[in-house]
């Protein structure tokens, strides 16, 4: 039985655009695009984990909308990822790439131009089809 990995993702909105990040070549799912976020630690709520991850990975502060935007599950060879995604609004800082190789701020209408990591596809499609 594969390990279930609980992760959170952020749809970071600023000036009507959404932050998209590209994974580095040395990481699993190399060069795929994703919404920022990461693993939930045992002592954390999903929202606390998301705030921590965004501070660590991008050196930014966000306001997290408490309503879940999308919840998906995807089975990779290394485990089953359960991804809970929230809409976030940039409060302070400009994203600094510490773990990714590229970033883009895109309007919803351009999200389909990227090759998304499989776990992020459902969220990207929901945004493309329904908006925020």
Q: What pLDDT is recorded for position 117? A: 93
The mean pLDDT values, 10 residues at a time, for the chain of 132 residues are: 92 95 86 95 95 95 91 89 94 92 96 95 94 80
Query: What is the domain extent for residue 23?
Result: 4-130
Model's pTM, two decimal places?
0.91
Name the token pair of 38: 């990461």
The label of the residue with tokens 């990207």 reads: 124
| End-to-end Cα separation, the chain, in angstroms | 36
What is the structure's pLDDT at 132? Answer: 79
- Number of domains the chain is built from: 1
Do strands 79-92 and 4-14 pair parallel, antiparallel, or not at all (unpaired)? parallel
Q: For position 73, which CATH number holds? A: 3.90.79.10
């Amino acid at each position: 039985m594969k390990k279930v990995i609980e992760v959170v993702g952020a749809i970071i909105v600023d000036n009507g655009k959404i932050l998209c990040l590209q994974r580095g070549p040395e990481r699993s799912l190399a060069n795929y695009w994703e919404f920022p976020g990461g693993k939930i630690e045992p002592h954390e709520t999903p929202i606390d984990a998301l705030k921590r991850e965004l501070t660590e990975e991008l050196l930014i502060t966000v306001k997290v909308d408490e309503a879940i935007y999308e919840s998906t599950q995807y089975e990779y060879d290394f485990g089953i990822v359960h991804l809970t995604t929230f809409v976030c609004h940039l409060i302070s800082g400009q994203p600094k790439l510490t773990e990714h190789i590229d970033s883009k701020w895109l309007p919803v209408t351009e999200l389909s131009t990227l090759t998304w990591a499989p776990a992020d596809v459902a969220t990207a499609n929901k945004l493309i089809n329904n908006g925020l």
